[in-house]
A and B are shown apart, each in its own frame.
Chain A
Amino acid sequence: DIQLTQSPSFLSASVGDRVTITCRASQGISSYLAWYQQKPGKAPKLLIYSASTLQSGVPSRFSGSGSGTEFTLTISSLQPEDFATYYCQQLDSYPITFGGGTRVEIK
């Protein structure tokens, strides 16, 4: 199985901050990586797919980059509605796997 390691697991930030979350894969996955945002009690929401393609309707302050084994999700200017948990997901090979999550909280 391909393991995905997210860092940090917890992040405290202020509104307006630039935030970067990293996802490292245990082996190369090309660009088959997606990012999700999940708020308490809600289903995850797809933000980014193919490592850097913004899902329709997602604000442009979200961006993704990387290929191979290292990927990043960046929020250019954190907004109040962005406080949530973020997950990466690899779709290169089965089984599909998720990272452990990064919780973004208000400083």
Chain B
Amino acid sequence: QITLKESGPTLVKPTQTLTLTCTFSGFSLSTSNVAVDWIRQPPGKALEWLALIYWDDDERYSPSLKSRLTITKDTSKNQVVLTMTNMDPVDTATYYCAHKGGRGFGDDYWGQGTLVTVSS
């Protein structure tokens, strides 16, 4: 079965760089049309899509955050890494990674999420 799990720091200081890792099993990011998304949710607020990477290395980013985000994949390790630079308290949120079965499809499997707090 497909599982995903996010890992990374729970607390970062303002201006620091956040690095989150999504480790997954049950699928391969070398399979056609598969992608992994990153989505976040500030406490009590709505979901916000951040970025995704497809099996063919196609990367997409939220325009409002594009300058701060980088998404990469390591197919051999079954991992996707998201880095976000210049963290600010408004970036405090639960960060999720999710599996997408193809372009235009919804996210059918999600990680449990990891709460990242930005505070000095």
Binding site for B on A (CB under 8 A): 1, 32, 34, 36, 38, 43-46, 48-50, 55, 87, 89, 91-92, 94-101
Q: Mark B77-120, 1 if CB is under 8 A from A, else 0.
A: 00000000000000000001010000111111011110000000
B46, B104, B106, B112: the one within 8 Å of A46 (CB): B106
Q: Does B2 contact A (CB under 8 A)?
A: no
B108 contact set on A, CB distance < 8 A: 46, 49, 55
Q: Mark B37-48, 1 if CB is under 8 A from A, else 0.
A: 100000000111
Binding site for A on B (CB under 8 A): 37, 46-49, 52, 60-63, 96, 98, 103-108, 110-113
Docked Cα-Cα span, A15 to B98, in Å, equals 31
A34, A91, A92, A95: the one within 8 Å of B63 (CB): A95
B46 contact set on A, CB distance < 8 A: 87, 98-101
Cβ–Cβ contact A95 & B61, under 8 A: yes
Docked Cα-Cα span, A34 to B108, in Å, equals 10
Additional A-B contact list (20), CB under 8 Å, known A44-B96, A44-B107, A89-B107: A1-B63, A34-B107, A43-B110, A43-B111, A44-B110, A46-B108, A49-B108, A50-B104, A87-B46, A87-B47, A89-B49, A91-B103, A92-B104, A95-B60, A95-B61, A95-B62, A97-B49, A98-B48, A99-B46, A100-B46
Cβ–Cβ contact A91 & B105, under 8 A: yes
Docked Cα-Cα span, A34 to B98, in Å, equals 14
Determine how close the nearest CB of chain A comes to the CB of B96; give it in whole angstroms. 6
A46 contact set on B, CB distance < 8 A: 106-108
Cβ–Cβ contact A34 & B106, under 8 A: yes
Given A49-B106, A91-B106, is A96 in contact with B111 using a C-beta cutoff of 8 Å? no
Docked Cα-Cα span, A66 to B11, in Å, equals 42
Determine how close the nearest CB of chain B comes to the CB of A43; give it in whole angstroms. 4
Docked Cα-Cα span, A99 to B49, in Å, equals 11
Determine how close the nearest CB of chain A comes to the CB of B59; give it in whole angstroms. 10
A34 contact set on B, CB distance < 8 A: 105-107
